[in-house]
């Protein structure tokens, strides 16, 4: 089988990673969570006592930052297990600044492309179809209303024991969407050849099935039950 890449992009908390993880498992592909990489970088900047709003200081860490995504979904940066910490509100409210710096993006995109070339993959993020993997066989742009997204993320935070109010989640989602889609280099956008999928009124299973149908149509690859 020739190498197959599936790109899933969209705004904050659109449910991309939940769906991408299941789709990857059903196809036997590797799942690559690019948001976790920007979050891990942000965690490290904070850990080093630097201000994520300071581009020069944040970019000065590029040579020392080592990020790895493990098969079990855990995330490491420079030897620290940050799997849970990268979901904390302080990281969420700062990650879009870090993700707007060209130097950091280029370094993480190199890593993403390297991982994406190794195996068949499902990669989710903001710029996968438009910039990271422009030749991906399948490109999905997953959207949902701000209210739906905030509600989903609020419940997810509750399940994980991350303390946030619904209002804080709405503000975070709107703020990140704004910064992500207005940055100069490589902003969040739908690739011309991406298929839009409005998941506002869909369950996770319905979204997974819709994506798997598109994958089969475009690549002939069938999912396992
Ligand atoms: O899961 P959620 O939608 O909350 O976000 P994420 O995928 O974990 O990404 C966190 C942040 O990283 C986003 O708000 C973007 O600022 C940035 N990001 C990016 O710029 N490009 C990507 N390919 C992935 C994430």
Give the model confidence (pLDDT) of 200-219 as tens digits: 999 999 999 999 999 999 99
Res 85 pLDDT > 80: yes
Q: Report how far ligand 1's centroid is from the alpha carbon of 124 (Å).
A: 9
SS3 143: strand
Whether the per-residue pLDDT at 58 is higher than 80: the answer is yes
CA of 128 to the centre of ligand 1 (A): 11
pTM, full prediction? 0.97
Sign of the torsion formed by the C-alpha atoms of 97, 103, 107 and 109: positive
94 C-beta closer than 6 A to ligand 1: no
Which residues in 50-135 belong to E strands, given as ranges?
Answer: 67-69, 75-77, 80-81, 121-125
Residue 148 Cβ inside 6 Å of ligand 1? The answer reads no
Ligand 1 pocket, residue 13 CB under 6 Å: yes
pLDDT tens-digit map of 105-141:
999 999 999 999 999 999 999 999 999 999 999 999 9
pLDDT tens by residue, 156-214: 999 999 999 999 999 999 999 999 999 999 999 999 999 999 999 999 999 999 999 99
């Amino acid at each position: 089988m020739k190498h197959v890449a599936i790109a899933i992009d969209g705004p904050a908390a659109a449910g991309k990673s939940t769906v991408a993880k299941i789709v990857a498992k059903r196809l036997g592909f590797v799942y690559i969570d690019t948001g976790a990489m920007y979050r891990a970088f942000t965690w490290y900047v904070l850990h080093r006592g630097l201000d994520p709003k300071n581009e020069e200081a944040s970019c000065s860490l590029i040579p020392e930052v080592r990020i790895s995504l493990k098969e079990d979904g855990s995330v490491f940066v420079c030897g620290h297990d940050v799997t849970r910490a990268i979901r904390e509100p302080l990281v969420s409210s700062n990650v879009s600044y870090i993700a707007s710096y060209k130097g950091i993006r280029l370094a993480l995109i190199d890593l993403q492309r390297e991982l994406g070339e190794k195996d068949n993959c499902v990669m989710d993020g903001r710029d996968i179809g438009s910039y990271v993997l422009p030749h991906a066989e399948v490109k999905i742009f997953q959207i949902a209303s701000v209210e739906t997204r905030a509600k989903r993320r609020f419940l997810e935070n509750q399940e994980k024991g991350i303390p946030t109010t619904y209002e804080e989640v709405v503000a975070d989602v709107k703020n990140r969407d704004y910064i992500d889609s207005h940055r100069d280099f490589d902003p969040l956008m739908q690739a011309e050849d991406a298929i839009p999928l409005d998941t506002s009124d869909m369950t996770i299973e319905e979204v997974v099935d819709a994506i798997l149908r598109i994958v089969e149509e475009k690549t002939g690859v069938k999912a396992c039950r």
